Structure 1
Amino acid sequence: MPSLHLHALVWPAHGARYHLTLTVPSGRSAVIGTTPDPGTALADVVLGLARPLAGAVRLDGRDITDAPPGERGITLVPVGGGLLPHLNVERNVAYGGDPAHAADRLRDLRLTGMRKRHPHELSPAQRLRVAVARALGHPRNPGVIVFEDRAGQVSCRPAVSAAQAYGATVLVITDRESGALADGAVRPEELHDAT
């Protein structure tokens, strides 16, 4: 699995600018603690949905800052998992990925017993595990998964552990101010113009 490096990254959020340098080694995880607006804006930059003001996003040393989202090898597990409510677990996992390997991902993440259930029949923690299975099945074989972890939602810790057990490199962007997940979180620096 690849390492992720955010090199001198600068991005805007609600009229402010934020700066961060961070390396997540292959198969490991890192937590970025920040308020929701800069956190969402950072996720957009890492995923390729927005351009940074400066700096670079690198995967195993390769600059992917200008690469399209679908070619980066980075995928998102949004708050709550983002499952499609009209599809059962099996079809959610196969959606947008390689359906031939959906059964393998269901087995590896211990989801086979619930493959015919729909998202509303799952616990919040189960929905996140299903979202991990779907993320790991992306055709570009993502090596990096970005989790959006928000206060008031179920902790993504078990889903992060499941992703790491599968070998993924994980970046968690959280606005939780307390709890074990936020311990040791890296905080982006807000940049202020010198006057």
Structure 2
Amino acid sequence: MRVTLRLRALVAVPGTGPVTLDVPAGRMAALVAPPRIGTAVARVLVGLAPPRSGRILVGERDVTDLPPPRRQMGYVPAGGALLPQLTVRRNIEYGQRKRERVREMADDWAATVVERLELTPTLALLPHLLSDAQRFRVALARAAACLPEVLVVDLPSGMAGGGRLADLVPRLSPPDAPGVAVLVCTADPATLDEIPEQVDLLGEAVGR
């Protein structure tokens, strides 16, 4: 099985790690931490802040020092962080503009993700008109629209409005692709019940 995301002795923020973890394509793993720490670690993983030490690899590429657009990572911030003045369609398109991808492929794939996540009826709506669960799906679609190899999800309080992350993740990759490697930063018990591979950022690695 192809390993997509590798963390090597990563200390993302003071008081955590070092974490060594492999996440294969099409699989999920969780970094278990309180919300504030989970958010800080997620920002390090996607390149919005530097780590204290260690390395982050995507496939065979060391992306530790690369800016976010060159990491081939999608990011779902806590709460989704949708732009309130933009419609659902434009929020998803905004994610595409932030990546270096072939435009025609990205457009076709974005339309597919919208359909798979059942967002077509919401495309003309502003975020405040959506349910919490719909906003989360829009944030997933925005992150997946650029065909990332890795998806980092900051999920401090679970999926508001119900649903299972494990049911949504398979919809985020083309059927002929190996799948996206998903790393979830969370302490939510319901979410952790879905994810066998876990690392406690304040303690020891655990697997279930």
Counterpart position of 1:87: 86
Q: In 2, distance between residues paired with 1:155 and 1:34?
A: 22
SS of 1:95's equivalent?
Answer: helix
1:63-106: per-residue Cα shift (whole Å, max 9, x none)? 11111111001121112211111222112111241583343332
Structure 2 portions without partners, runs of 5+? 97-102, 174-179
Aligned pair count reads 185
> In 2 relative to 1, CA 11–80 (structure 1 residues): closer, same or farther, beyond 3 Å?
closer
Map 1:44-193 onto structure 2 (within 5 A): 44-97=43-96, 100-101=107-108, 102-138=110-146, 141-151=147-157, 154=160, 158-159=164-165, 161-167=167-173, 168-176=180-188, 178-179=189-190, 181-183=191-193, 184=196, 185-189=198-202
Residues 19 and 189, structure 1, Cα contact 8 Å, conserved in 2: no
What is the deviation of 1:34?
A: 0.8
SS of 2:17's equivalent?
Answer: strand
Residues 149 and 156, structure 1, Cα contact 8 Å, conserved in 2: no
Letter matched to residue 73 of structure 1: Q
1:37-56: per-residue Cα shift (whole Å, max 9, x none)? 33222112211122222211
Name the stretch that deviates more: 2-11 or 23-32.
Answer: 2-11
What is the deviation of 1:150?
A: 1.3
> In 2 relative to 1, CA 156–60 (structure 1 residues): closer, same or farther, beyond 3 Å?
farther
What is the deviation of 1:117?
A: 1.7
Residues 92 and 141, structure 2, Cα contact 8 Å, conserved in 1: yes
Q: In 2, distance between residues paired with 1:82 and 1:3?
A: 26
> In 2 relative to 1, CA 22–43 (structure 1 residues): closer, same or farther, beyond 3 Å?
same
Q: In 2, distance between residues paired with 1:104 and 1:10?
A: 37
Letter matched to residue 11 of structure 2: V
Task: Give the superposed CA RMSD.
Answer: 2.5
SS of 2:75's equivalent?
Answer: strand
Q: In 2, distance between residues paired with 1:105 and 1:83?
A: 17
> In 2 relative to 1, CA 156–149 (structure 1 residues): closer, same or farther, beyond 3 Å?
farther
What is the deviation of 1:62?
A: 1.9
1:98-124: per-residue Cα shift (whole Å, max 9, x none)? 583343332232211221122112111
What is the deviation of 1:129?
A: 0.8
What is the deviation of 1:156?
A: 8.1
Residues 48 and 65, structure 1, Cα contact 8 Å, conserved in 2: yes
Name the stretch that deviates more: 143-152 or 155-164.
Answer: 155-164
